[in-house]
Amino acid sequence: MKRKKKALHRNYRFINVHPIAGALGAEIKGVNISRPLKREVVLEIRQAFLDHLVIFFHKQELTPQELLAFSRQFGQPMEYPQLKGLPECPMITEVIKLESEKLNFGGVWHSDTTYLESPPMGSMLYAVKIPPYGGDTLFANQYLAYETLSEGLKKTLGDLVGISTSTKLEVAKTRDNRLSDSGEKLKIMCASHPAVRTHPETGHKALFVNSAHTTHFEGWTMQESQPLLDYLFEHQVRSEFTYRLCWRPGSLAFWDNRCTQHNPVNDYQGFKRIMHRVTLEGDEPS
């Protein structure tokens, strides 16, 4: 299904939606997300999420319990498979980089945990403590990544299945500090997913491989797969497909893991950054 032009001027009755980039992203204003929301407000936020792929709320004050309650209005929270959550709120994962650390957690382009048979529908990230500068997050639109491929490559990818693993070195090493702190060991997990998935709510097609987890194509060797994967990894994060979020204290981002990728920028050495993340259950890609 060919994707229609994004609904930048949809009429919302209960929220204010402000698109912030040509590719994806919108800021939601006029909502206090620390409180239970009326059904009509939740429905409009959900529509903005589907229209813009990643939505943001600023100047919010959320306890872990309030963040979890907000997330439950949009899906079923799930535990992050590699780390334990907060003791008082196990479904909330604390994402930390300390002043002395060189690597940031998940600091490469990726879709969340595609090594699961049913990867997350979406994730929410809330800014608890941010550095005085740096620490932005990049987001990339995977509908556009697919739509701008040649018809020949679309046909080829339509028959391919990508193999994802939790153990690719570039991303696995970004978890080392947190795994060491918690006494946990990296769980070895693997799953296979179509290289192009159809979004279960919008019906649009999105490129669904990522450099953090996809190792090769099913039925292909790694050596055979690498040239095509290298091309796709570079293509799917072209600058015109992206938006860069500058965090503020109390900012919350909610992104659609089925049609976006993200990359936390590691440019704030010597400063501490603390974020709270909740992840929502998804379905098996098709």
Catalytic residue among 52, 110, 197, 276: 110
Local confidence pLDDT in tens for the 286 residues of the chain? 556 554 556 889 999 999 999 999 999 999 999 999 999 999 999 999 999 999 999 999 999 999 999 999 999 999 987 778 899 999 999 999 999 898 887 789 999 999 999 999 999 999 999 999 999 999 999 999 999 999 999 999 999 999 999 988 775 665 556 556 666 666 788 999 999 999 999 999 999 999 999 999 999 999 999 999 999 999 999 999 999 999 999 999 999 999 999 999 999 999 999 999 999 999 999 9
Tell me whether residue 18 is one of the annotated catalytic residues: no
Which residues neighbour 82 within 8 Å (Cβ) at sequence distance 6 or greater? 166, 175, 179, 184, 186, 187
Per-residue CA distances from 6 to 23, 142, 198, 254, 258 (Å) = 9, 14, 17, 18, 17
Catalytic residue among 193, 262, 273, 276: 262
Tell me whether residue 277 is one of the annotated catalytic residues: yes
Homologous superfamily assigned to 16-280: Clavaminate synthase-like (3.60.130.10)
What residue type is 66 in one-letter code?
A: E
Catalytic residue among 193, 199, 216, 277: 277
Q: Is 170 helix (H, G, I), strand (E, B) or coil?
A: helix
Encoding tokens for residue 65? 């319990």
Catalytic residue among 112, 204, 213, 258: 112
Q: Output the DSSP codes for 149-178.
A: S-HHHHHHHTT-EEEEES--HHHHGGGHHH
**Residue ranges per domain, the chain?**
16-280
Residue with structure tokens 């909330």?
92
